[in-house]
């Protein structure tokens, strides 16, 4: 398969990852971005019909129910969007001999490990959101489609609702911000995820073209779950401090920025429990596709350059 024949459907047009993928995939083939209102992931029949109409060679599911705390009171919606919808897409991809790509989360783990999690480590989600994403992973793998499931963490960017956008706003509105300092992970820029995904698709297109086979056949036994996060790790408090430092460098505040106060998770109760260790090991991704994401401070600076 060559680029001229490549038809990629990106699901989740209005989300930060889908938006970046739509921008970064340009020139890779025919790119079709689907989202609300014309595509509702709660309507699985409509999802199936749209995929059958388009007949893509690659489906990238960048849509998800990501309201972690809200999921505690809306478990049915979270499960339908994060598990049933990806399974339906995977079934349609298998029928078309297409490649299916979707994204999962560090929240499939309980965070009790002292080291970064490997793909093969036992899962034990602490909240409904994590459980719904884990159910989605298992449902997709049960279909037997040629699939790539990328677990990532702490996704942020210049668009959408995320930790970066919240800190940028509150740092100029409040005198003090109390930020949890005992949860550690890798803040991951949505653009880095899109770029890494593109690189992998490009590899598979090149391999399928030289072997004169389908892109799903080119993936072969490399299908499965991979961890895909920024290099390095930091606590939420440390990430907030880095954001304020970048704001100061760029003069993004007309007045004094908020004072940061480090607190334990116990002092910031939320409906959904969070893992203390969200660090993921990315070696499998590097070994299979020679793809790594930049260090998180480097990507944060790049986002701030765009914003500032």
Residues marked as catalytic: 129
Helices (H), 4-43: 16-24
Neighbours of 98 (CB within 10 A): 26
Neighbours of 305 (CB within 10 A): 10
Rounded Cα distance, 229 and 284, in Å: 12
Task: State residue 2 phi and psi, 5-degree precision.
Answer: -115, 175
Rounded Cα distance, 122 and 244, in Å: 36
* Three-state secondary-structure class, residue 152: strand
Whether the upstream peptide bond of residue 37 has omega within 30° of 0, thus cis, is: yes
Output the CA torsion sign for 131, 149, 227, 246: negative
* Three-state secondary-structure class, residue 290: coil
The half-sphere exposure of 242 on its side-chain side, counting CA atoms within 13 A, is 20
Rounded Cα distance, 212 and 290, in Å: 23
Say if CB 12 and CB 18 are below 8 A apart: yes
């Amino acid at each position: 398969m060559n680029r001229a024949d490549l038809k990629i459907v990106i699901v989740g047009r209005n989300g930060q990852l889908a938006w970046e993928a739509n921008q970064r995939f340009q020139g890779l083939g025919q790119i079709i971005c689907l989202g609300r209102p014309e595509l509702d992931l709660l309507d699985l029949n409509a999802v199936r019909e749209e995929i059958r109409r388009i007949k893509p060679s690659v489906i990238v599911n960048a849509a998800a129910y990501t309201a972690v705390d809200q999921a505690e009171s809306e478990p049915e919606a979270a499960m339908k969007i994060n598990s049933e919808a990806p399974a339906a897409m995977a079934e349609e991809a298998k029928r078309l001999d297409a490649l299916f790509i979707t994204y999962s989360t560090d929240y499939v783990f309980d965070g009790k490990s002292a080291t970064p999690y490997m793909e093969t480590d036992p899962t034990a989600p602490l909240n409904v959101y994590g459980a719904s994403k884990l159910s989605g992973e298992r449902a997709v793998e049960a279909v037997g489609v040629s699939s790539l499931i990328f677990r990532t963490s702490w996704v942020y960017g210049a668009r959408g609702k995320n930790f970066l956008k919240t800190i940028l706003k509150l740092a100029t509105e409040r005198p003090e911000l109390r930020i949890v300092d005992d949860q550690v992970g890798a803040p991951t820029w949505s653009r880095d995820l899109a770029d890494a995904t593109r690189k992998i698709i490009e590899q598979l297109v090149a391999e399928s073209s030289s072997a004169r086979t389908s892109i799903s056949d080119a993936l072969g036994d490399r299908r499965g779950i991979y961890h895909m996060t920024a290099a390095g790790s930091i606590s939420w408090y440390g990430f907030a401090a880095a954001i304020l430092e970048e704001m100061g460098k760029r003069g993004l505040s007309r007045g004094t920025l908020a004072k940061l106060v480090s607190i334990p998770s116990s002092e910031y109760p939320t409906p959904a429990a969070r893992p203390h260790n969200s660090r993921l090991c990315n070696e499998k991704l590097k070994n299979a596709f020679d793809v790594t994401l930049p260090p998180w401070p480097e990507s944060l600076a790049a986002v701030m350059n765009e914003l500032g």
